[in-house]
Structure 1
């Protein structure tokens, strides 16, 4: 497909976990603390990593064998949230190339923001303590709007806050829900193949407009050298 050329694209919206930041270490640390309380050994980060994009619904079945249908799930999810809150800043880092990529977008006058299903309680502190994300022009978290992705409402809210029509925005994410939300919002979509691709997922089936193997490849898709 041809590049999504700047200046047609005036804003780029990003998913957070698995697209801008690698939060697997921090989340694994929280889950392993919960396992330790129960006398269970720690699991390696790589065991959790593919499931990070699904949040507590995907991680608790790995860490504690408890899925959303279990009667104990809500209590465990609350415990997980409280434990994770104590781990913020314990290992989350931007993916390699994110900082220079965002700097280059800004230099070319392209605004950027974040649309994540992570609730604001966690999303805002992470963004605030990550220097590479300091110039985020709009942050829409999982509890900012009535609906979460794959509904388009969060993406449309971010475009509204930026004052840019959805047709002039693209959305970058590492989950099929990201691509669905972007399409429904009338935005171009780019799949971040370096992110947390869940087992059994085939990004070729996501119907993304483009895909990238590394953050800096986004500049090529936008025709920015």
Structure 2
């Protein structure tokens, strides 16, 4: 379907099922500050916009700015301590990446997770997969759904945006793909579900990682 082959993946909810650890770390911090904690299902709608949006979504709206940033910094500390025992690749993801690697298809990761954490998770789970580009949220580059980072990856790939699959599990990813002029591929196994992906204009919905290979034939 595509002559020049390249794929950009979101990380959380697409490559990695990290929701439980995000919820655990968030609830640890909320409890430390005597704030209400949340159920695992709630976090499906809290994530996707980066760490600041996560904290905005899981804290009361009337807390002070000072307290907000204390919670934010504490979350970073707790998350970095390596509490993430439950995070793992979705079934079939590693095999997909190995196949893409063997086919010499250019691959990248673009996440709204803090850049250092994004790289850490890539190295932990996919260190033997050649990802040409791995990017998380950086201070000098707007986060998704702004297309700036996606377009920079395309430029580094030396492949036009309309020949790149952008694969993700949320409206943020579909909007990023659309804003960058890429092919928007939504995954049904992620945090949000297919309804949100369809409503935001996904070009394709895939039910298994192997379905992504079919789009590259």
Question: Do they fold alike, i.e. is TM over 0.5?
Answer: yes
1:221 aligns with 2:212: no
Contact 2:47-2:53 within 8 A present in 1 as well = yes
Query: C-alpha deviations, 1:38-87, integer Å up to 9, x for none?
Result: 467865433423422234345435644358x8523222112111211113
1:17 aligns with 2:12: yes
Return the offset for 1:167. 2.5
Return the offset for 1:37. 2.2
Report 1:195-210 matches (<5 A): 195-197=190-192, 202-210=196-204
Structure 1: segments with no counterpart, 5+ residues: none
Contact 2:163-2:182 within 8 A present in 1 as well = yes
Structure 2: segments with no counterpart, 5+ residues: none
Query: C-alpha deviations, 1:132-187, integer Å up to 9, x for none?
Result: 77321111221075211111111011112223222321101112221222122221
Contact 2:92-2:210 within 8 A present in 1 as well = yes
For 1:113 and 1:36, locate their aligned partners in 2 and report how far apart those are by CA, in whole Å: 36
- Aligned-residue CA RMSD (Å): 2.6
Contact 1:174-1:191 within 8 A present in 2 as well = yes
CA, structure 1 residues 84+91, in 2 after alignment: closer, same or farther (shift >3 Å)?
A: same
Tell me what 1:125 maps to: 120
Q: 2:75 aligns with which of 80, 96, 100?
A: 80
1:157 aligns with 2:157: no
CA, structure 1 residues 120+62, in 2 after alignment: closer, same or farther (shift >3 Å)?
A: closer
Tell me what 2:138 maps to: 143
**TM-score, normalised by the number of residues in structure 2:** 0.85
1:170 aligns with 2:165: yes
**TM-score, normalised by the number of residues in structure 1:** 0.83
